[in-house]
Structure 1
Amino acid sequence: MNTTLARARDGDAAAFRALTDPYRRELHVHCYRMLGSVTDADDMLQETLLAAWRGLPGFQERAALRTWLYRIATNRCLNALRAARRTPVEPIPPFVPPEPTRRGAATWLQPYPDALLDELPDHQPGPAARYQAREAVELAFVAALQQLPPRQAAALLLRDVLGYATAEAAELLGTSALAVKGALQRARAALGENRGRATAFEPGSAAERELARRFAEAFSADDIDGVLALLTDDAWLRMPPAPHEYQGAAIGTFLRTVATWRNDRRFQLLPTRANNHPAFGCYLADSGAPLAHSAGLIVLGFDHDRIAVITHFLDTDLAPRFGLPDTIPAGQGPTAETSPAWR
């Protein structure tokens, strides 16, 4: 590596890529956890690599290159969070929605494609880590992180996800070990109140696929009672970037309002995966039109054998990130049983 490092310091772009490529995906995921947005993570990764390229002559190798890159990425994210967040414009629905149960705050939240998670290297976290790799990318965990003060979220990620020791985390954050311990304690207490639900399913298991299939059939058929039968009593429906959130029976009220507005049009779903959970590209065609256009992406969250959260991301630009088309033939589409994404 020293020869490659020397070439990179001399301005060899290929050598720099050889040094940093093994860490790009995990740095991207780290930025995603910090910011809750894949779009923002794209920007932060590029800023991190640009800062590393410019700062490489000053890299003194007191820490591993990976740790040095994490320091840059973490502090770039903290700087971005100190600035005005690019909160998306609240969409205006084409109908009068029922009163929401509450208004959510993290409207910038986006899903992360499982296909990109498969590119993560098999780094074993240190002994300080408390969260397994699967749990640390679940949507509920990333959403809960967005409710924490940024430095608390950073301390928790460095210690409990990446497994850095307290002294190492303090150095990465440019603060004291005592400050890291305090931030970590507060973050763990807050996150304990916002943890995601337990699930009895292994990712891709037959039981998970079956519940997702039943949801897809009911949802695309406007069988609202069938959808409600699959939910926990306190389930939530969320729709970033819209702040409207509905719980329990209010979900049925909202779905019936949407079905009335759509008239004879029905959603079509294409299976995919996001944040280690079943997901669907959602499509809707105008009446009589030959093509159905992207209407966002739906991600399911489970509580044992029921659905606890339906998150319908309304961003119609998400489909290509998941390898899904922008349009599909109206009235057609593969089922959850036949799609390669579900095997």
Structure 2
Amino acid sequence: MESESVAAADAGGEAAFAGLAERYRWELRVHCYRMLGSFDEAEDLVQETLLRAWRYRGSFQGRSTFRAWLYRIATNACLDFLDRHPRQPAAGEAGGPAEVGWLQPFPDRLLEPPADPEAEPEAVVVARETIELAFLVAIQHLPARQRAVLILRDVLGWSAAETGELLGMSVAAVKSALQRARPVLRAHLPQRGSGQALVPTAQERELLRRFMTAHERADIAAFAQLLSADVRLSMPPLPYSFVGRSEVAAFAGNALGPGSALHQGRWRGVPVRANRQPAMAGYLCRPDEQVYRAQVLNVVRVEDGQIVEITAFGPEVFAAFGLPAALP
């Protein structure tokens, strides 16, 4: 019985209980990340979840699974956080997409469960369409409780009854919240096909290679060829965005071109994966230095063989990806 396992862990002290709860850290991190859109905040909320679980361990009576009990604690911790820190996506420039200034990327290496033969079979593979940055931006438009309902019902596949029990809502209220949430989500999601691969395709790998080569050589013409006509570049938390091939290529020319005022030195790219999407960690070597220092993490969204979106994050996100601060 699971309740007996929890009781045994409780009897073994905080370390034993933490070891049991630790099996679920990876999926609780993903859940909190979907709720909040920030990797750093998700890490903090998972830690808060595990602390609350230990503090209130006596409330677990075995009426639900231990996993569901932890999800209840994590969801409520996120809702408490959002009550204390209310926020809304800011209107984009010139009627463009909304800006989510707190958005951060999620390392692909943390999207898979650890090798644990005792892990519950309920834990599912994180689907690409529910972790991509476009989904994270879209879901931030939902009120916190509607967001929780949609994640539990449509992403995790919980029943209306299970969701209602977790959130303290009636089944009718859960269904009503979901009916209101779905149209809002669809309105903010990009139009695209479904059923995308979990692993990078050969086309995506080749596109990322060409993207890095153009970046390193400051080849703006080659860079522009990779972009869709309506490509968008954003740089959270900065409230700047560029829309359209000519605008994005012009920005790249100013930032990378040796003759431009913004040019700072030579670049080197390292391929990574973020949010099930191809990404490049960009390192910059300034003329007066001998090392390449972390500068930007570009996450790209690919559709029909072209880059349709670039989301650029600062070097503060490199540590979460296990990337060094500098390269020789």
Q: Which category describes the TM-score, using the shorter chain as reference length?
A: 0.7 to 0.9
Q: Tell me which residue corresponds to 2:154.
A: 160
Q: CA deviation at 1:199?
A: 7.5
Aligned to 1:13: 14
SS at match of 1:60: coil
- What corresponds to 1:251 in structure 2? 248
Equivalent in the alignment of 1:326: 325
Q: How much has 1:296 moved relative to structure 2?
A: 2.4
1:241 and 2:237 are equivalent in the alignment: yes
Q: How far apart are residue 245 of structure 1 and its match?
A: 1.0
Deviations 1:28-65 (A, max 9, x none): 11001110111000110011111110111121211111
CA offset at residue 261 of structure 1?
2.8
Q: Given the superposition, is the C-alpha separation of residues 56 and 165 from structure 1 closer, same or farther in structure 2, using an over 3 Å criterion?
A: same
Deviation at 1:256, TM superposition (A): 2.4
Structure 1 residue 104, shift from structure 2 partner:
4.2
Q: Which moved more, 1:188-197 or 1:26-35?
A: 188-197
- 1:89-137 Cα shifts (integer Å, max 9, x gaps): xxxxxxxxxx8775843111111111111236785579xxxx9722211
Which amino acid in the other structure matches residue 112 of structure 2? Answer: D
| Native 8 Å contact 1:269 1:280 kept in 2 | yes
Distance 1:312 1:218, change over 3 A: same
The one of 110, 122, 132 aligned to 1:116: 110
Partners of 1:311 and 1:135 in 2: how far apart?
16
Which residue of the partner structure matches residue 151 of structure 1? 145
Give the TM-score of the pair, scaled to structure 1. 0.84
CA distance in 2, matches of 1:229, 1:117: 32
Q: Percent identity?
A: 43
CA distance in structure 2 between the partners assigned to 1:285 and 1:102 by the alignment: 33
* Amino acid of the structure 1 residue aligned with 2:183: A
Counterpart in the other structure of 1:334: none
Alignment of 1:135 with 2:134, yes or no, is no
- Taking a change above 3 Å as real, the CA distance of residues 101 and 294 of structure 1, as seen in their structure-2 partners, is farther
Aligned residue in 1 for 2:67: 66
Answer yes or no: is the 8 Å Cα contact 1:198–1:302 preserved in 2: no
Offset of residue 285 of structure 1: 2.0
Match of 1:287 in 2: 287
Conserved in 1, the CA contact under 8 Å of 2:228 and 2:306?
Answer: yes
Q: 2:159, 2:194 → 1: CA distance?
A: 30
Q: Is the 8 A contact 1:27 1:73 kept in 2?
A: yes
Structure 2, unmatched stretches of 5+, are none
1:175 and 1:201, CA in 2 relative to 1: closer, same or farther beyond 3 A? closer
Q: 1:292 deviation in Å? A: 1.6
CA distance in 2, matches of 1:220, 1:122: 45
Structure 2 residue 207 is matched with structure 1 residue 211: yes
> Could you give the per-residue CA deviations for residues 252-301 of structure 1, whole angstroms, max 9, x where no partner exists?
22222323234361332111111111111111122131012111211110
Q: Which residue of 2 aligns with 1:93?
A: none
Matched, 1:299 2:276: no
- 1:51 equivalent to 2:52? Answer yes
CA separation in 2, counterparts of 1:122 and 1:8?
Answer: 17
Whole-angstrom distance in 2 between the partners of 1:303 and 1:170? 37
Pairwise CA distance, 1:2: 3.9
Q: Is the 1:199–1:303 Cα contact (8 Å) retained in structure 2?
A: no
CA 1:296–1:264: 2 relative to 1, 3 Å: closer
Change in Cα spacing, 1:122 to 1:295, as seen in structure 2 (3 Å) is farther
**Residue identity matched to 2:265:** R
Q: One-letter code of the match for 2:43?
A: D
Q: Compute the displacement of 1:167 (Å).
A: 1.2
SS in 1 for 2:157: coil
Quick one: distance in 1 between partners of 2:295 and 2:288? 17
